[in-house]
Amino acid sequence: MPLSLPVISTEVRQALDAGRPVVALESTIITHGLPRPRNLAVARDAERQLRDAGVVPATIGVVAGTPTVGLTGEQIEELAADEAAVKISTRDLPVAVARGASGGTTVAATAFLARKAGIRVFATGGLGGVHHGAATTFDESADLVTLASTPLVLVSAGAKSILDLAATLERLETLNIPVVGYRTRRFPGFYVADSGHDLEHSVDTPQEVAALVEARDALELRSALLVANPIPPERQLDPELHRRVLAEAWEEAERQGISGHDSTPFLLDHIRRATGDRSLEVNIDVYQNNVALGASIARAMAG
C-alpha cells in the first residue's frame, strides 16, 4: 500500500478544516538546538504560548520513520530525550522514513511538511543561510532553496549571526524570496536586533502581513514570505559583546582547523560558553518573540 505522508494530528487537521489559525513549529530546537532538559521546557512553553493566544500549535518532527505534523506531548518528550535523534532536512526525509529514524526537522524540512499539511504560518528562531567562504565551498543552507518554492509565512529573527549575512540577503533576493522587517528597516542578526544591513520593505502590523500574503497568492508566486522580527533591543545580546565573542569564536575555529558542517555547532557552543550562557537565554527569547508574532499573523490570516 502506498505511503500517505506526512501524518497530520486530528487536532491540527480539524483546525485547518475549520479555518482556525495554526502555527507550525520546528523540532531541531528540541533535538539539537537546546540542552536537556531545557529543550523540553521550551517546546512545551511554545505550544502553551500559542494555545493561550487562541492558535493551534503544530510541532513537526519525525518519529520512528513517520513525518508528523502536530506531535503529541509524549512524542515531543521522546524526541527531547532521544540522544540518537538525527537532524533531518528535506533531502533526509526519505532516508528517515525508509530506515525508521527519529529526529528533529530543520527549517527546510519543517516548511516542506507544513506546506504539505496546508499550514500557512511557521515560526522559528533564526534562518539558515550562506556561510562564510561559500564562494569556494558552496556551503549554503537548504533553508533558502526550500523557501523559494514553499509559499508560507516564515517568522524568524533574521539569520544566524555566524553566517555571511550580506551574501544571505543577496541569495534571498536572487531566489525571489520577499523579506520584510517587522517594524524595522534593518535586518536582524538573531542575537542582536540590528545586523547592520538594510531592508527595503517593512510592515507594522500582522494585518499588513496578511495583505502581502493575499497579494502573493493572487499573483501565484511560489516563494515564502520572510518576516524578519528583531528581538527587542533590551533583550538582545550586548552588540559589542556579540562582536567580540564572535570574532574570538572564528579565530579559535581557524586555530583548531574546524570548517564545513562542523563550524556552526562549534561557533554557537563557543559563543554560549564565552557569554556565560547569556546567548542561550537570548536564543530562547528570540524564539518566544517569534512564536508570539507568528500567532498574531496566523490570527490575522484566519480572518
| Residue list for the binding site | 87, 107, 139, 141-143
Cell of 10: 486530528
Sign of CA dihedral 248, 252, 257, 259: negative
Query: How far apart, in Å, are the Cα atoms of 92 and each of 44, 77, 78, 98?
Result: 26, 22, 20, 10
Instruction: Report the alpha-carbon angle 58-115-141, nearest 5.
Output: 95
Q: Are 146 and 172 in contact (CB under 8 A)?
A: no
Q: Are 293 and 155 in contact (CB under 8 A)?
A: yes
Task: State the DSSP code for 260.
Answer: G
Cell of 14: 480539524
Task: State the DSSP code for 163.
Answer: S
Please tell me whether residue 216 adopts helix, strand or coil conformation.
helix
Q: Are 127 and 164 in contact (CB under 8 A)?
A: no
Query: How far apart, in Å, are the Cα atoms of 227 and each of 108, 153, 156, 205?
Result: 16, 7, 6, 11
Catalytic residues: 26, 160
Q: Which residues contact 281 (CB under 8 A, 6 or more apart)?
A: none
What is the C-alpha to C-alpha distance for residues 178 and 267, in angstroms, rounded to an integer?
A: 28
Neighbours of 144 (CB within 10 A): 23
Residue at grid coordinates 526537522: 105
What is the C-alpha to C-alpha distance for residues 247 and 53, in angstroms, rounded to an integer?
A: 39
What is the C-alpha to C-alpha distance for residues 71 and 58, in angstroms, rounded to an integer?
A: 7
The phi, psi pair for 195, rounded to 5°, reads -80, -10
Binding site per annotation, positions for substrate: 87, 107, 141-143
Binding site per annotation, positions for Mn(2+): 139
